[in-house]
Amino acid sequence: MLSNIVLDEFDRELEGRGLRFSRYADDSNIYVRSKRAGERVMESLKGFLITKLKLKVNEQKSAVARPWDRKFLGFSFTNAGIPKRRIAPKAVDRFKGRVRELTNRTRGVSIERMAEELARYLRGWPGYFGNCETPSVLADLEQWYRLLKPDAHGVRLQAHELKGAAATVAAECLRAIAEAMEGAGSAGQLDQCRELLPDAIGEFELYKSTLEREGWA
């Protein structure tokens, strides 16, 4: 809230100059037509912030760059054809790191609790990033979530589907893991499924592009 109060004058300055921009707290992107215009606007606005508003500019986080080379609130743009709003690569990396953390077999929590925590995280993610225009990442999350259903029957069915997909693309390691998960699900051994899950996720990621071409992901 303090940033909004202090930078309200900055917003009015940008509007007065006819610039297109987006700002959240002290993070902002300003869009111009060329690199030269970007460099000119940046120097001018740095002077405004330092001289008029008495603020310090973070030089390490400030740059003139193409929109697809920058991120804003977890989003970026594609650079082929008509630009599309996409999830920034760093946001995807953070998601994958969090999923690995939640599904770590050394956490010592029950499969029910692990699935509950992961489901809560996955529900929040598409809730925030659901308006991206490149939804393949969200489809991947859906696939991972289905593998984590906390009932033996659901695990068995999803593992069986994954086993078939792996056999189609000759992903033998993924097929073997899926087969083991299917057997554990049939036997009601959810803890065993939990132990196999990180390996299944890792192998699935290796073959993701191939599975997508074959219509499995």
DSSP 69: G
pLDDT score at 95: 84
202-205-206-208 Cα dihedral, nearest 10 degrees: 150
SS3 call for 25: coil
For the chain, state the CA radius of gyration: 23
Question: To which H or E segment does residue 21 belong?
Answer: strand 20-24
Question: To which H or E segment does residue 60 belong?
Answer: none
Which of 74-88, 142-156, 177-191 reaches the highest mean pLDDT?
74-88
C-alpha to C-alpha distance for 52 and 46, rounded to whole angstroms: 10
C-alpha to C-alpha distance for 85 and 91, rounded to whole angstroms: 13
**Average pLDDT over the chain, rounded to an integer:** 81
CA within 13 Å, CB half, 162: 33
Average pLDDT over residues 185-194: 78
pLDDT score at 105: 64
**For residue 4, is pLDDT > 70?**
no
C-alpha to C-alpha distance for 139 and 135, rounded to whole angstroms: 6
**For residue 208, is pLDDT > 80?**
no
- 165 vs 144, higher pLDDT: 165
Residue 145 pLDDT class (50, 70, 90 cuts):
low
CA within 13 Å, CB half, 88: 14
